[in-house]
Amino acid sequence: MAVDLALAAAVPPDAKESAKDMGVLNIANALPQSLVPIIAPAPPGLC
């Protein structure tokens, strides 16, 4: 993860919007961790 973050910080498409790009990267990393506990109990209940 550290290498991905370093690469994303080193090669921004627009230096003025790098904070927005880091925010999108943070959401992409945090959202699945937030949704899995909600979704995971559903499949055993369907069987």
pTM across the whole model = 0.62
Using alpha carbons, list the distances in angstroms from residue 29 to 22, 24, 25, 37, 45.
11, 9, 6, 15, 27
How many Cα atoms are found within 13 Å in the side-chain-facing hemisphere of 1? 6
pLDDT one-digit tens code per residue, 1-11: 788 778 877 88
- pLDDT confidence of residue 18: 81
DSSP 1: -
